[in-house]
Structure 1
Amino acid sequence: MNIKILRNICIYQALMGCLFAENELILENIFTQDKEIKESTNWQSEDIKNYAGSRSIISNQQLSKTGKNTLDAALQSTPSVQIRDYSGIGILPKLQFRGFGGAGNGHSNTGMILLDGFNVYGAPYSNIELALFPATFQMIDHIDIIRGGMSVQYGPNTFSGVLNFISKEIPKEWENQITQRITFWEKDTQNTTNVRNNMLYDTYLRSGGMINNSFGIQMQANIIGGESFRENSKSNVKNFTLDTLYKINENHKIKGFLQYYDYLANDAGSLSITAYNTNRFANLRPYNLASGSAKRLGLSYLAYFGNNERFNGSFETKYYLHDVTRDFRIDDLYNSVDFSKKPTKITDNIRNFLVNNLEVKTNLFNKINSILTQNILIGMRYLREDISSFSYTTALATQTITKNPTSLYHNNFLAFYIGDEIKLWDKLSINPGLRYEFLDYTQTDTIKHRYANKFNPAISITYTPINSVILYTNYQKSFLPPQMGDITGTNFDSITTFQNMELGSRYLWKNYLSVGLNYFAIFADDYRIGKFSTDSGISALSQGVEFEIFAQILKDLNLHFAYAFNDAKVSNHTINNGVDIYHKFLPYVSPHHFSFDITYKIPNIGTLGASGFYYTKSYTDILNTIDEDSNGKAGMLPAYFVFNMQFSKTLWKYQKQKIDASFSINNLFNEKYYFRGIGTSPIGRQPAAGRSVSFCISYLF
């Protein structure tokens, strides 16, 4: 059947009221100490089990007990999430959600990515890429992933999902923690010389708690330094946060945070086929470097009112500010794998982002009678971006510096949204919503003004025929707003739009078992990013099936298994390099993805954990070239399976003090695989990490 006909049939059925699922109320109170977030700490949480769509939780136990040592590794246990982990330390994740995000410049450009509910993109509307990622593994308590998107509350770029990293919350009683992790990287077994002894040090400090019934404070520091798995891959990360909580009374509270994040890492980049086969961990690009810093501030006032069974609600005001600077330094041969040549100059590509965000929203609950209840969400957001972009080039022979022109942007965005959840007999829930976005772009150095507006409708319906079964489906519309290059370019009026649908069910057996199965389809029009781009853009359909099981059949045994099938193809006839690419697979998308986590607490001994993920082969260009060419510009990426193991044990415990230790092996079987087209190395092979061993000891007091 023709793809456009199929799409129209699906949309018609959706608008006629077939089962849909969008619940923009789930992440209503996003701060880590809020009741809603506390409850969403694992798959057994009520709002996870009852969510009207596909939603996964990566719990603290999965993060800390199953052999994962980066956020990159943790995310690969989630269906339809694919990571090209080229750094080994999680500094710049390359994320793909449900078939989208792999074709740009290598930086993540899909999905709404949040840290404690706040957007982490440098410019959330006009520069959607993770050029800096202000989160570190040891500071994160758990990860909440909503793959179905939440376009009404969160706006653009939600078509493939919303991913929220939740930090460790302020404890009820004062406590302190000191943790030290050391990772040893294995050298390339094909390289018999230059024996490597790379070590990475990860230090974590935390101190905080509730001083009295009203006021709490917490300070955290995470410092990472040493070498990654590549040769000459010096890395340094500093992450400092201060969280505060003031409970005025039981119905009013104020929360805030301050964060300073800084990183610097040598970017070893890609290798030629010959260089990869000789020593896949070599660094033949000594000038490439990535660095950046972020200063972040958030403040929230939350009030509850109408505290009774028939009517109640909440009012929240949130302000957020970040000042982010990033620099990618590359040599003039970054687009080559001919290492017989020597670079003659290096270029620093610098951008600064100053973002101010104010959001106000009200949630109203009304129990009309014993049959009917209504929950209304009304909100408004204003966001301003001030961006400067420039570069300077240094001639290596003479050290002469040439500064290139600076581009300045001042952009304003205003959004209004409303959602209305109507529930009948506690069995049937209908949840329509609508969001309006007004986009105002200004490039001040060229005095260019551009305006646009977008309506994003959404609707959900869930039905619970019996207590253990939930049926859901959803429809939402989202979009990718114009990016910085579109303001003065010709593509501004061709905004990429997405229509996302889900249909699924979840079976629950008390707190012992959760089985979820769903189908999704994402229709994209005017998609223009990177290797998808043509003069007219393309249409694409990404559809698939996701299956996920969480189980705790035995008290000390926890299991998680996930599978995803993803079929992402061009859905219109369009020409790329003289070839009609209709029905070609989108680059970097593995059709099949398996993952698992398991922990077993051995009485009086310790906890044994394991995790793993498997991805099938994927294409790396829109022409779907199978055989790798000589310069590594195109050709299929290999399938790979990565297996991790960990043993954890409490060495000593006295009252509220304890010492925990763990030993883990990542990529136990030393799987050899590589990626392509990442960041400043668009061609060639970019190796993934080999086997590593980590030791960790933590003192809590």
Structure 2
Amino acid sequence: MKHYSLFSSSALQTTVAWASIVFIGSIFPLNVVFSQELKPNSPAGNKPKTPPKKQDKPQDKPADEQIVIQGDILGENSKKALRYYAGSRSVISSDTLRNGGIRSLDDALQHVPSVKIFDETGTGALPQIMVRGLYESRSGRVQLLQDGIPLSLAPYGQTSVSLFPVTLDMIDRIDIVRGGAAVQYGPNNVGGVINLVSRPIPKKWETTFGDRLQVAQNGNVIFNNFVSTGGHVTDDFALQLDTNFQNGDTFRNGHNKVDTKNFRLRGQYDIDDDTRIRAEIQHYTLNIDLPGSLTPNDYKQDPYQTTRPLDNVVGHTVRGNLVVQHDFGELGPFEGGQFTWTGFASTTYRNYKVGMRTNANETWLSNLPPELLQQAPRDYQVFGAQPQLTLRAHSGDVSHEITMGARATFEDIGFIVNRTQLQTNVVSLIQNRHFTDKAWATFISDKIGLLDETLTLTPGFRFEHLDSSFYDRMNGQKTGNGIRNILPGVTASYKIGKTGMVFFDAQRSLRAPQVTQIIYGNNLNSELAWNYETGGRYFPDKNTTLGLTFYRIDFNNQITLDNTSRTYVNLGSTRNQGIELSAEWQLPAVPDLSFKATYAFLDAKQLNGQYSGKRTPYTSKHQITGDIRYKLDRSTEFDINGYYFSNAYSDAANTRQENAIASVGRLPSYVVFNAQASHVFYEQNNGATVRGSFSILNFANEHYYFRGIDTSPWGRETAPGRTFIMGVQATL
């Protein structure tokens, strides 16, 4: 068995070579990949929109809009598509990201019903995302994608995003599907799927410069610089280079440096009218200090101080992906369809450094200086490929859209822990372990349209096959584990005239045992859950949309980390159920004034064991969000928004009283308000613009805190206070 050294040069060279071949291949015609017998023959019926012929392309159509995977459960995200989507779904638009008083991508998600964020840095570099009460450190229980490609360090073995290579300025919109999405997006999708959609490559070449200045109330400054240049080189070939730099001091006093660099090169080539490819290669680096949590007394003295002088995260990743797509016409009984092949690869290194005491029980006590520096470097290599085929058929008032595919994934993970005695500089190796995951999955679904698609049923299933191996390099121990699971699912929707729809869905999801769970000594089974949703939307006119969703998640085997003992424990069966309400409307008399509001109720309980009937940790029963936006004219826009979360517990026992080390205790409720003014200073018909914005986030300066965040599991983790953001963007 071959074992890779931590961040081995051969591993990096392999991924860089793969990604380079992927990108270079996008420049040359690949017609030979497809059979000449699959030429389109003018298919009839209700064929979904496919990319237009070249002579019919609108000149202002973004190039990226041509890469649309037919049969994808996310589908379009137009206003009409969202209204008729068979499930609970939200889209944070480009306009909201630019003009809505948004600090970062995770900050934007706080305005989505049933999504809660634990923001420790105010930078978006280390997101902590909870969806419908499902939480694990570093967003371990949500499926995060960028343009459909998994963002987790390892989709099976390490679902967290302790290195998050996505920055706000590179994203056009965020598509959030809450609830199960197990058939096409497995594994780890119980809480839903969040797809970060990149800005499209423009038809005409353009260059954008952007700068944002983020100033905390204590005067600390973070600089955010963004440069993007790209467009069509020819009618068929487009390129875009994006760069984003973030550096400065976060909102805490002392030990607060942040430095991120993000480079991305994308290409797209239309081989012919029916065949197109997209390729991407990215390099991202991170170096950020972690001021950490505080004892209750330290928090009362100064909630923004730091008593953790050594905690830090460094990391870097190289990622590449390729999407090849071909549309075809009549094929036997089918009127047309599409074949898509997606390949992705990444090599990632990250290292969390933590100051510790020789006696671990003293580690997070602020009155004692650190005696050890613990480092946990990890090396991840991931390779994956997914072919997918969509076939369409139509007969009378019945239609079929059959989607089938498979995915193969290989993961190689190196895990080292060492500790350095600060007085003697003696280094001790604590752990040296190697993990390998070999997984493949198949899926199939059939979107059946009845009564001229008034009624739509989509049954399907996914089969997951995973073989994992574990090798302890220190003692030679070898173990293995196999997982075989069928994940069925069904969705149904019914259109009520032109003003409403109702839906129902039920899906089974899983998450494989994680590397960190094995490291802590517990060989736990997979987490399995059934996810149910039912609800509807009412849209009496183009300016009003009302939504109501009831959901329930039944977990057979939920796993959580006990902060005090620092071990993973099995909560057993849990049940998360709730209600989500949403409303969007504009006043007919004042069309430039718009309102959005949501309310989410969550009842998350443990169902067996010592704490049966008690709430699951970190869950808030109530969430309220609101947004008011007013467009003064074509150039000026104002936005005021806010969100409220009720209190939560930080342990399975639902301990109310905070203990001396603050590892348990009830977390308080909080409400945050934000405001932004945006103005276009210069605009030309050729697309040249100069825009500016000024935001005040948390303008009431609400003081609140979290608990149980990764390297600071005890204490109060301070949330960002009042923050000022000034931004300017010029497009040439």
Match of 2:450 in 1: 424
How many angstroms apart in 1 are the aligned matches of 2:521 and 2:727? 53
Counterpart in the other structure of 2:544: 513
Corresponding position: 1:323 with 2:352 = no
The match for 1:469 among 485, 500, 513 is: 500
1:89 and 1:486 map into 2 onto residues whose CA distance is 28
**Of the candidates 105, 108, 112, which is equivalent to residue 143 of structure 2?**
112
Q: Which amino acid aligns with 1:690?
A: G
CA contact (8 A) 2:560 2:570 kept: no
Corresponding residue of 2:384: 357
1:223 to 245, 256, 281: 245
Aligned to 2:307: 284
User: 1:151-181, CA deviations, whole angstroms, 9 ceiling, x for partnerless residues?
Assistant: 0011221111101111111011111100011
Count of aligned positions: 657
Partner of 1:636: 666
Aligned mates of 2:348, 2:635 — CA distance in 1:
46
**What is residue 102 of structure 2 aligned with on the other side?**
68
Name the counterpart of 2:6: none
Q: Note if contact 2:619-2:648 (Cα within 8 Å) is conserved in structure 1.
A: yes
Partner in structure 1 of residue 231 of structure 2: 209
For residue 436 of structure 1, report the CA deviation from its aligned partner. Answer: 0.6
Q: 1:508 to 1:44 in 2, by over 3 A?
A: farther
Indicate the larger mover: 301-310 or 467-476: 301-310
Where 1:249 maps in the other structure, the secondary structure is: coil
Counterpart residue identity of residue 178, structure 1? F
Give yes or no for contact 2:403–2:445 (8 Å, CA) kept in 1: yes
Which moves more between the two structures, 487-496 or 469-478?
A: 487-496
- Give the deviation of 1:47 after TM superposition: 2.3
Q: CA separation in 2, counterparts of 1:43 and 1:642?
A: 28
* Equivalent in 435, 442, 462 of residue 409 of structure 1: 435
Q: Percent identity among equivalent residues?
A: 30
| Deviations, residues 261-311 of structure 1 (Å, cap 9, x unaligned) | 111111000111111111111111110001211110000100000179971
For 2:616, the equivalent position in structure 1 comes to 586
Structure 1 gaps, min length 5: 1-24, 188-196, 575-579
**Any conservation in 2 of the 1:65–1:599 contact (CA below 8 Å)?**
no
Moved more, 81-90 or 65-74: 65-74
Greater Cα shift, 673-682 or 306-315: 306-315
Query: Aligned partners of 1:74 and 1:409: how far apart in 2?
Result: 35
Give me the CA root mean square deviation: 2.5
Kindly report which structure 2 residues correspond to 1:288-687, keeping only aligned pairs within 5 A, or say none.
288-306=311-329, 311-333=335-357, 336-369=363-396, 371-425=397-451, 426-445=453-472, 446-484=477-515, 492=523, 494-531=525-562, 537-553=571-587, 554-572=590-608, 574=609, 580-603=610-633, 606-655=636-685, 656-687=687-718
Query: Quick one: distance in 2 between partners of 1:85 and 1:630?
Result: 23
Instruction: Give the letter for the 1:328 counterpart.
Output: Y
| Structure 1 residues 82 and 489, CA gap change in structure 2 (3 angstroms) | closer
- Which piece of structure 1 moves more, 112-121 or 441-450? 441-450
Residue aligning to 1:200 = 222
Letter in 2 for 1:612: G
CA gap of 1:558–1:216, structure 2 versus 1, over 3 A, is farther
- Assess if the C-alpha contact under 8 Å between 1:98 and 1:160 holds in 2: yes
Q: Does the 8 Å CA contact 1:331/1:343 hold for their aligned counterparts?
A: yes
Q: Which residue of 2 aligns with 1:190?
A: none
Contact residue 491 and residue 504 of structure 2 kept, 8 A:
yes
> Compared with structure 1, are the counterparts of its residues 297 and 489 closer, same or farther at alpha carbon in structure 2 (3 Å cutoff)?
same
User: SS where residue 538 of structure 1 aligns?
Assistant: strand
Post-superposition CA distance 1:545-573 (Å, at most 9, x none):
0011223445423322111000000012x
Deviates more, 1:51-60 or 1:501-510: 501-510
* Contact 2:334-2:391 at 8 Å conserved across structures: no
| Match of residue 59, structure 1, among 84, 93, 99 | 93
SS in 2 for 1:546: strand
Secondary structure of the equivalent of 1:668?
A: coil
Contact 1:302/1:314, CA 8 A, preserved across alignment:
yes
Residue type of the alignment partner of 1:483: Q
Separation of aligned partners in 2, 1:42 and 1:433: 20
Residue 16 of structure 1 is matched in structure 2 by none
5+ residue gaps, structure 2, are 1-46, 52-62
Q: Secondary structure at the match of 2:183?
A: helix
CA shift for structure 1 position 107: 2.2
- The equivalent residue for 2:65 is 33
SS class of match (1:416):
strand
Q: Are the structure 2 counterparts of residues 437 and 548 from structure 1 closer, same or farther at C-alpha, using a change threshold of 3 Å?
A: same
Contact 2:385 2:408 in 1 (8 A): yes
